[in-house]
Amino acid sequence: MSDKSYVLNVGVDRLSMKQAVQRAENIIRGLEPAGIVVTANAEMVMLAQKDADFAAIMRNAALVVPDGAGVVWAAKYLGMPLTERVAGYDLTQQLLARAAASGYRVFFLGAGPDVANQAKAAAESRYPGINVVGTQDGFFTSQEEGPLIRRIAELKPDILFVALGVPRQEKWLTRHFSELTTPLCIGVGGTFDVMAGRVKRAPVWMQRAGLEWLFRLLCQPERLFRMAALPKFVLHVLRSK
Ligand code: UDP
């Protein structure tokens, strides 16, 4: 089991990308209990402050990886540095590469009509031999939900990638986890949009400078309202020391 760093009472696993992938594979192989992987950013840590259900989801997650530069900064500032940033997009790519190499079955759930299929096509060209056993867009109705869960359970993926946005993806996975019977479930936000080529990822220099949030804001100005959580997060962290 890994150590955790605590940022505003939210535990984040202190792991390198390599170790995160190893833990994920342990879960797939049944060497560790099945569970949900949460990719934590500042917005999610702030949400956990006021949403007790979401805080519990983060507490009970099989893995909480530091997706956001803000979380990495805060842990260091608070004297509990994390190993490195483990971005959800990058973790997804690593897991897809492992899936292709080891024959793990994967399912893509979420994002707009056709995006999950385009992400599947992208995965198939990037990771030859990968077995994407099914896809479903993220705009299903409540009547479609039961059949969808049964379909996923029957297809028996080893990894279920869910892109329904935060916190819906984590709450949906938690609510249906026992029926899904998938050992490893992970909320991946905008990952399918990037894989499908609909949304660009920040250039590497911006990722390294901890400015991916700024890039996303410039590309999707409608995110401004959500990003109001960022300065609040910084203030809370500064005060919590
Ligand atoms: N989404 C969805 N169903 C919904 C709402 C959103 O499938 O009802 C998808 C949306 O198309 C996008 C993803 O969820 O692909 C959320 O992406 P975002 O970049 O907002 O991720 P976050 O910042 O929440 O991790």
Q: Which atom of ligand 1 is nearest to the CA of 43?
A: 23
Q: Which atom of ligand 1 is nearest to the CA of 110?
A: 7
Task: Report which DSSP code applies to 108.
Answer: E
Nearest CA to ligand 1 atom 9: 111
Mean pLDDT of the chain: 97
Pocket test for ligand 1, best of 90, 193, 198, 224 (most atoms within 8 A of CB): 193
pLDDT tens string 41-50: 999 999 999 9
Task: Report helix, strand or coil for 45.
Answer: helix
Give the mean model confidence (pLDDT) for residues 1-6. 82
pLDDT at 226: 87
Q: How many CB atoms within 10 Å of residue 40? A: 27
pLDDT at 241: 87
Does 110 sit in the ligand 1 pocket, CB within 6 Å?
A: yes
> pLDDT tens, 128-155?
999 999 999 999 999 999 999 999 999 9
Confidence band (pLDDT; 50, 70, 90) for 2?
A: low
Atom of ligand 1 nearest to the CA of 115: 15
For residue 192, give the ligand 1 atom closest to its CA. 15
Task: Check pLDDT > 60 for residue 160.
Answer: yes
Report which protein residue has its CA nearest ligand 1's atom 20. 165
To 10 degrees, what angle do helices 212-219 and 69-77 make? 150
Helix (H, G, I), strand (E, B) or coil at 10: strand
In this structure, the number of other CB atoms found within 10 A of the CB of residue 214 comes to 15
Rounded CA-CA distance 213/232 in Å is 15
Beta strands in the chain (DSSP E): 4-7, 10-13, 35-40, 63-66, 105-110, 131-136, 159-163, 184-187
- Rounded-to-integer distance, Cα 27 and Cα 10, Å: 22
- Our mutation pick for probing the ligand 1 site, out of 164, 169, 225, 227, counting the most ligand atoms within 8 A of Cβ, is 164
Overall average pLDDT of the 164-192 stretch: 98
**Which residue has the CA at smallest separation from atom 21 of ligand 1?**
189
pLDDT band, residue 207 (cuts 50/70/90): very high
Average pLDDT of the residues in 190-218: 95
Q: 229 CB under 6 A from ligand 1?
A: no
In this model, does residue 37 exceed pLDDT 80? yes
- Give percent of the chain with pLDDT exceeding 70: 99
Indicate the domain borders of the chain.
Answer: 4-240
Is residue 93 predicted with pLDDT exceeding 70? yes
What pLDDT score was predicted for residue 56?
Answer: 98
First to last CA, the chain: 26
Cα(120) to centroid of ligand 1, in Å? Answer: 17
Q: Residue with the nearest Cα to atom 11 of ligand 1?
A: 111
Whether 179 has a pLDDT exceeding 80, the answer reads: yes
Give the confidence band of 225 by pLDDT, cuts at 50, 70, 90: confident
Segment 157-166 shows an average pLDDT of 98
| Nearest CA among 71, 82, 30 for reference residue 233 | 71
Provide the 10 A C-beta neighbour count for residue 105: 18
**Rounded-to-integer distance, Cα 70 and Cα 55, Å:** 18
Residue nearest to atom 5 of ligand 1 (CA): 164
58 band by pLDDT with thresholds 50, 70 and 90: very high
